[in-house]
Amino acid sequence: MNDIAHNPRYEEIMLAWRRDPEAYWAEAAKGIDWIRPPERIFAPELGPYGRWFVGGEMNTCVNAIDRHVAAGRGDQPALIWDSPMTGRIVKLTYTEMRDRTARVAGALAQLGVRRGDRVVIYMPMVPEAAIAMFACARIGAIHSVVFGGFAAAELAKRIDDATPKVIVSASCGLEPGRVIPYKPLLDAAIAFSSHKPQSCLILQREQVVAPLTPGRDHDFAEAEAAATPHDPVPVLATDPLYILYTSGTTGKPKGVVRDNGGHAVALHNTMRILYGVDPGDVFWAASDIGWVVGHSYIIYAPLLAGCTSIMYEGKPVGTPDPGAFWRVCSQHGVRALFTAPTAFRAIKQQDPEASYLAKYDLSKLETLFLAGERCDPPTAVWAAEKLGIPVVDHWWQTETGWAITAGFKGLGLFPVKPGSGGRASPGFDLQVLNDDGHVLPPGESGNLAVKLPLPPGCAPTLWNNDEGFRNSYIADFPGWYRTGDAGIIDADGDVWIMGRTDDIINVAGHRLSTGSMEEVLASHPDVAECAVVGAKDELKGQVPLGLVVLKAGVSRAPEDIVRELVALVRDRIGPVAAFKDARVVARLPKTRSGKILRGSIRRIADGEAAAPPATIDDPAVLDEIGAVLGRPAA
Ligand code: COA
Ligand code: AMP
């Protein structure tokens, strides 16, 4: 048992929450400015499992920006945009954020956007992306940010589901060594989609000037300059703030909904108890606004708490060197850094001795938080040793919006045991269930599930799809939220995440669906059947590996087909899929009932020794796959 096994402050908070969850959340809700306080803290009869802060009225933009100006923080930077990709650093104070956000809100309103309308935001890591998100929140519009590394076809799926009135985009994104024009992708997506937005607001970056489509496209800067500042619009706590699409097990992404009130209360609460930061501190989540970590901890939570947030347009290595993270932390006085383990693996790979650290003063940096994928203990230990600060792994999902388990800096519960994701956050009654839905004792592995209701800030539903929410998350274990992760809770209450129980993989901290890649491979005219699994990767944690069986009579060179398959996935899903490895095989391992044994393929790819499953039709196939992958089957 380690010395934090019993932590009075954490246990006291957990006890208070368990004794009276509504009182706990009513207290947390005092951290938010309400226009009208909630009539009910929790209403179990609403939505798939209940709704929080029903009847309350507030505005998320006001809570994140305006109220800090009113409280005297107007001159403090709200956002520091640090872009090694352009060599620029821009600081926007809370007053500047308020004024620009109000104008962009006015520009959106001018284009007809009203409370409840959707706005898709397809932008690189530039301050205007944050401003557009807050501008939507200001007028009660629902934003849906789409990650820049997705291809046009993926963007089109999201346009069709969210049916936006307006799309906000930019002329280009910047990746090391290349400029990515966004406008052709946007135009292609709009051409593919059945729903057409009325207007697009396009930010022209100096690297590329995009031709604008007359009558539909408007220049972002001109529209902002010409707009009348828009006052904040009161919204219900239960009104959606945003939709964020995430990978499910099929090619159709899930539209995770986040509401206004619960989100603001929960995120504000985490900044002190979990991340241990105070108003005025500098907080840096090195992620992307296209992911949930970016939504929660680049955009909303730091500003809800009156901190300064860093928005970084660069990489951990190569922009220009593996000292980039240390430079940013030291230059801006970062107190807490949050990133994905893959970023640290990249730094460790290029600078194993962390020699670049000596160039920078990191005395303000207190804690490193990691999430997004399982953190291998050697990386956590390396980071802790080199930085000389506690490293906290914490586990969460797009659906929850904040950590299900964590080390709690503000409650003295840190660091966590290397390899563990910490303990359940107050609000989450986390248990391990067997496949029949029975709670397992400590130390036994099974399905990680949260007893309903989920706490504030978690998705109340999927966009226009209550039934989909029930089927995806509740149907397997009625009364519980099925996380889709397997794990163990040990005798101290520390949680060990073992990986997904479905076909979702995690590539460089990016959540991807192998099912959607299989759909793309299967659409190739020469492919009879296929399987995609996530194989272990030193840098990215996992990378997709595709196995394809060709149709009878196909005599083309396998390497040509493989090249086409790699290009097809990049074209349909996007570069973010990192799909670079496909192999042609004679047949796939299957059960006697014909189900493809993807787990067996993954184990062979990872070099794990395992006996063939009892249900396998012909164990000899495993040897064939092992031979193709150059690994023994058992
Ligand atoms: N727009 C367009 N393309 C993008 C993109 C974007 N916003 N983001 C990534 N891509 C491209 C990359 O250029 C790369 O293209 P390539 O195949 O031509 O090289 C591809 O998508 C895969 O990107 P990525 O998986 O990020 O790999 P990488 O080699 O560029 O970088 C890391 C690897 C580890 C440095 C990087 O993934 C990283 O910093 N990750 C950690 C932080 C993080 O973002 N976590 C997310 C959740 S917390
Ligand atoms: P996303 O919805 O993109 O945040 O991805 C969520 C998934 O990432 C989870 O279901 C986990 O499989 C994985 N994940 C996130 N954080 C962690 C962590 N700290 N440890 C292990 N897996 C994690």
Nearest to 417 by CA among 384, 459, 441: 384
pLDDT at 2: 54
Cβ contacts of 194 within 8 Å, gap of 6 or more: 160
Rounded to two decimals, the pTM is 0.96
The residue contributing the CA closest to ligand 2 atom 19 is 395
Residue 251's pLDDT band, with cuts at 50, 70 and 90, is: confident
Distance 441 CA to ligand 1 centre (A): 39
Task: Tell whether 163 and 60 lie within a shared domain.
Answer: yes
Contact 400, 386 (CB under 8 A): no
Residue 634's pLDDT band, with cuts at 50, 70 and 90, is: low
Q: Rounded CA gap, 169 and 132, in Å?
A: 10
Q: Residue 385: in which H helix or E strand, if any?
A: helix 377-387
Q: Residues of the chain with pLDDT > 90: what percent?
A: 94
**CATH number of the domain within which 197 lies:** 3.40.50.12780
Task: Tell whether 403 and 428 lie within a shared domain.
Answer: yes
**CATH number of the domain within which 582 lies:** 3.30.300.30
Q: Which of 467, 489, 511 is the last residue of a domain?
A: 489
- Measured from CB, residues less than 6 Å from any atom of ligand 1 are 148-149, 173, 175, 180, 286-288, 291, 293, 315-316, 339-340, 342-343, 346, 372, 507-510, 540, 575-576, 578
Task: Tell whether 479 and 506 lie within a shared domain.
Answer: no
Helices 152-162 and 183-192 meet at what angle, rounded to 10?
Answer: 50
Task: Tell whether 31 and 130 lie within a shared domain.
Answer: yes
Task: Give the structural domain span for 105.
Answer: 8-314+394-489
Q: Over the stretch 413-448, which tens digit does the pLDDT of each residue have?
A: 988 888 899 999 999 999 999 999 999 999 999 999
Task: Tell whether 283 and 146 lie within a shared domain.
Answer: yes
Q: Which ligand is nearest to the CA of 404?
A: 2
The residue contributing the CA closest to ligand 2 atom 7 is 397
Q: Over the stretch 131-188, which tens digit does the pLDDT of each residue have?
A: 999 999 999 999 999 999 999 999 999 999 999 999 999 999 999 999 999 999 999 9
Residue among 342, 348, 573 whose CB has most ligand 1 atoms within 8 A, to mutate: 342
Task: Tell whether 149 and 253 lie within a shared domain.
Answer: yes
Residue among 537, 576, 581 whose CB has most ligand 1 atoms within 8 A, to mutate: 576
Which atom of ligand 1 lies at the shortest distance from residue 288's CA?
A: 44
The residues pairing with 80 across neighbouring beta strands, listed in sequence order, are: 91, 310
Distance 342 CA to ligand 1 centre (A): 10
Would you say residue 250 has pLDDT above 80?
no
- The β-bridge relationship of strands 510-513 and 504-507 is antiparallel
Tokens standing for 379?
A: 């990386």
Task: Tell whether 434 and 562 lie within a shared domain.
Answer: no
Q: Rounded CA gap, 122 and 143, in Å?
A: 10
Distance 289 CA to ligand 1 centre (A): 13
| Helix/strand/coil (H/E/C) assignment for every residue in 401-417 | CCCCEECEHHHCECCCC
In a domain, 383, yes or no: no
Task: Tell whether 623 and 583 lie within a shared domain.
Answer: yes
Would you say residue 1 has pLDDT above 80?
no
Residue among 147, 289, 315, 579 whose CB has most ligand 1 atoms within 8 A, to mutate: 315
Q: Which of 437, 456, 489 is the last residue of a domain?
A: 489
Compute φ and ψ for 242, nearest 5 degrees.
-155, 165
Count CB-CB contacts under 10 A for residue 69.
20
Distance 576 CA to ligand 1 centre (A): 6
In a domain, 343, yes or no: no
Would you say residue 3 has pLDDT above 70?
no
Q: Which of 459, 489, 519 is the last residue of a domain?
A: 489
Task: Tell whether 457 and 511 lie within a shared domain.
Answer: no
